[in-house]
């Protein structure tokens, strides 16, 4: 699109915007015919300025590329690249590793092999009493000392909670330490009378 086409199309679209703002329920037919003529003029200008075909995909890199209906951007080329990356990430690519004459067989087992199971993780959860229940305050920590320092800073803060506790999470939960006394607080004033 050259500069003259761009200017003419912009002027026609602005005129259509003005028509749209002035429309009402009692707009006369003569005004509607004028809007239709301006709309046709803008469509003709747009058709003259468009040089290529409509994009077949929503991909910015391959707008005219082949279509894959299952891809989020409809681009077969990008989806093929994403699938190859996912296969390589999992380690289940279809290509045989170089240097091996025959493929490596994995024997399926009932419980899986050690490498397939996730490593156990332990976290320390800092929780505060909000008057009705324990709620998480801050992000879970991987170091107990860091979690205790965080809770100490919270207790010294400008608006400390009534009680805090440190919970150890490792396949199960275990309360390690409680600071303060959690007391049930009725959220309704005057005891809900």
What confidence tier does 98 reach under pLDDT thresholds 50, 70, 90? low
Question: What average pLDDT score do residues 38-58 get?
Answer: 85
Single pTM value for the model = 0.34
- For residue 25, being part of any structural domain is answered with yes
> Cα(133)–Cα(120) distance, rounded to whole angstroms?
28
Instruction: Clarify whether residues 31 and 59 are in a common domain.
Output: no
What confidence tier does 97 reach under pLDDT thresholds 50, 70, 90? low
- For residue 115, being part of any structural domain is answered with no
Question: What percent of the chain shows pLDDT beyond 90?
Answer: 15
Mean pLDDT over the full length of the chain: 81
Element (H, E) at 99: none
Instruction: Clarify whether residues 41 and 12 are in a common domain.
Output: yes
Does residue 112 or residue 55 have the better pLDDT? Answer: 55
- For residue 108, being part of any structural domain is answered with no
159, 153 Cβ separation under 8 angstroms: no
149, 137 Cβ separation under 8 angstroms: no
143, 121 Cβ separation under 8 angstroms: no
Tokens at 130, concatenated: 């909000």
Convert the pLDDT of each residue in 105-118 to its tens digit: 666 666 665 555 55
Instruction: Clarify whether residues 65 and 43 are in a common domain.
Output: no
Convert the pLDDT of each residue in 82-95 to its tens digit: 888 887 777 655 55
Instruction: Clarify whether residues 78 and 38 are in a common domain.
Output: no
Q: Assess whether pLDDT exceeds 80 at residue 174.
A: no
Q: Within the chain, where are the H helices?
A: 3-22, 29-49, 76-90, 144-156
Structural domain boundaries enclosing 23: 3-49
Instruction: Clarify whether residues 132 and 86 are in a common domain.
Output: no
166, 148 Cβ separation under 8 angstroms: yes
- For residue 192, being part of any structural domain is answered with no
> Cα(15)–Cα(42) distance, rounded to whole angstroms?
9
> Cα(181)–Cα(77) distance, rounded to whole angstroms?
61
- For residue 88, being part of any structural domain is answered with yes
181, 163 Cβ separation under 8 angstroms: yes
Instruction: Clarify whether residues 129 and 169 are in a common domain.
Output: yes
What confidence tier does 172 reach under pLDDT thresholds 50, 70, 90? low
Instruction: Clarify whether residues 37 and 64 are in a common domain.
Output: no
- What is the number of domains present in the chain? 3
- For residue 112, being part of any structural domain is answered with no
Enter the DSSP assignment of 91.
Answer: T
Instruction: Clarify whether residues 38 and 59 are in a common domain.
Output: no
Does residue 153 or residue 98 have the better pLDDT? Answer: 153
């Amino acid at each position: 699109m050259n500069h003259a086409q761009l200017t003419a199309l912009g002027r026609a679209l602005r005129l259509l915007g003005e028509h749209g703002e002035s429309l009402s329920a009692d707009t006369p037919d003569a005004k509607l015919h004028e809007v239709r003529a301006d709309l046709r003029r803008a469509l003709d200008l747009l058709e003259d300025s468009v040089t290529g075909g409509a994009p077949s995909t929503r991909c910015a890199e391959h707008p005219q590329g082949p279509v894959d209906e299952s891809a989020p951007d409809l681009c077969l080329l990008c989806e093929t690249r994403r699938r190859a990356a996912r296969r390589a990430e999992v380690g289940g690519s279809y290509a045989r590793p170089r240097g091996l004459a025959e493929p490596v067989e994995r024997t399926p087992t009932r419980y899986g092999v050690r490498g397939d199971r996730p490593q156990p993780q332990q976290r320390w959860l800092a929780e505060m009493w909000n008057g009705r229940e324990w709620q998480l305050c801050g992000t879970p920590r991987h170091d107990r000392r860091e979690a205790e320092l965080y809770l100490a800073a919270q207790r010294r803060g400008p608006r400390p909670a009534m009680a805090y506790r440190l919970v150890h999470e490792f396949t199960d939960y275990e309360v390690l330490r409680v600071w303060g006394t959690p007391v049930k607080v009725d959220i309704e004033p005057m005891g809900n009378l």
